[in-house]
Amino acid sequence: MRPMLQRKRKGKKKGKKGEKAPTTPGRVERLVKWMMRHADKQAALPADLLFHFFQSQIVAVSAQFGLLGDMSAISAAGDGTPVVTSAYPRSKPTCDCRAHGIADCNHHRLYSQPDCNSGWDSARERYFNGYHLYMISAADSKHDLPLYPRLHPASRHDAVSLVMSTVEFKQRFTLGTVDNMLLDAAHDAESIYLLLEHQGMEAFIDLNVRSKKNITSTTASDIQISPTGIPIYPNGNPMKPNGTDYKLHRRKWRCTPACGCSTAKYGRTFYTKTKDDPRLFTKTPRDSEKWKLTYKRRSSIERSNKREKIDYKLESGRHSSTMMWYMRLYGIMICQHMDAWYVSQKDEWDKKKSMICPSAA
């Protein structure tokens, strides 16, 4: 009897240095549409009790100390980071093939952490087994304080993780209003802009120029739009900005007669509106000073993730359940807030200590 041949599996294609995990085209858009339809339905999560304690007893204290910025107009930042849990997936067989001398079989296995899988770590340039931690932090916080964590499978893309995390965060966060969301170029998708606008947030996302080709204007004109959102006249000259109407969320562009774009005395004007393309024509222009001042705080989320992974050694845990990883993660986040309390109140506490016990001063 001929042995049964197994189909040869293709090896995973390695990513490049700094390259994010790939995502299926259109997946983010479909997920956003589904989440927007069901945004009013709040599903219970296993970590809800932890977050309720963390928000009411820890984040609320930081807000009282003024460590999170203006609570009526919070700027939040989001980003994902890999969390390695083990060298290999932990699983047990459901068959007795090994007892019969069959080392490699295709039967189902029981995984102790079924919500973990393998993903690409662009910083370490290797595959890993574990989680994709997506964290949302207070961008205006001088201490880079975290607000909401979510553990996703390692293979999940930042854009997909953001869609799920921001909806859950918006449903659960009750201490203030989030006005701005600061994200890197991995989140640069039109559907994410629409989702954040639906949630009442303004998106500050770095532009990811996927193509060097110009696109045709949505209006019936001969104007084209560059990959960075600048109108281009048919002769190839870019138009110059000529003011912004913040109430109507539109921007005016002008080509002077010296550019050779038009024979008119004033030249030619063109308007770009946010509603036509929220990705290219943002409410706050990308070349404005407000954009630069707001977006430079996005790096706070990277410092927050570094504190959790490096300073507090998040990946040193040897847990075999998602529950224990959440317990470890929330414990680290509490320590981050308590560190900020001490630094911000140290001088005041020293004064009170010297008044109570002068000899200790």
H or E element at residue 53 = helix 48-54
Strand 240-245 and strand 250-255: the pairing is antiparallel
What distance in Å separates the CA atoms of residue 134 and residue 124, rounded to the nearest whole number? Answer: 18
Strand 117-121 and strand 250-255: the pairing is unpaired
- Domain boundaries of the chain, sorted by first residue: 27-88+118-207+286-360, 215-273
b (16+ CB within 10 A) / e for 280-293: bbbbbbbeeeeeee
H or E element at residue 324 = helix 322-356
> What is the reported pLDDT for 159?
93
Q: How many residues does the chain have?
A: 361
Which amino acid would we find at residue 328? R
pLDDT tens, the chain, 361 aa long: 444 444 444 545 555 555 555 555 588 999 999 998 887 888 899 999 999 999 999 999 999 999 999 999 999 999 999 999 987 777 778 888 888 888 788 888 877 778 888 898 888 888 889 999 999 999 999 999 999 999 999 999 999 999 999 999 999 999 999 999 999 999 998 899 999 999 999 999 998 876 556 666 655 577 888 888 888 877 778 888 888 888 888 888 888 777 777 777 777 888 888 888 888 889 998 888 999 999 999 999 999 999 999 999 999 998 888 999 999 999 999 999 999 999 998 888 777 777 777 665 5
Tokens at 260, concatenated: 């050779």
Query: Looking at domain 27-88+118-207+286-360, which CATH architecture does it have?
Result: 2-Layer Sandwich (3.30)
What distance in Å separates the CA atoms of residue 19 and residue 48, rounded to the nearest whole number? Answer: 32
Instruction: Of 133, 146, 279, give the one whose Cα is nearest residue 206.
Output: 279
Beta strands in 117-266 (DSSP E): 117-121, 126-138, 146-153, 178-183, 202-205, 215-216, 224-225, 231-232, 240-245, 250-255
* C-alpha triplet 322, 118, 168: angle, nearest 5°: 50
45 exposure class (CB count in 10 Å sphere: 0-12, 13-18, 19+): middle
What distance in Å separates the CA atoms of residue 49 and residue 59, rounded to the nearest whole number? Answer: 14
> How many other CB atoms sit within 10 Å of the CB of residue 186?
20
- DSSP string over 263-291: -SSS-EEEEEETTT-TTTS-SS-TTSHHH
pTM: 0.83
Which residues are bridge partners to 245 per DSSP?
Answer: 250
Instruction: Of 124, 130, 144, give the one whose Cα is nearest residue 305.
Output: 144
Which amino acid would we find at residue 166? T
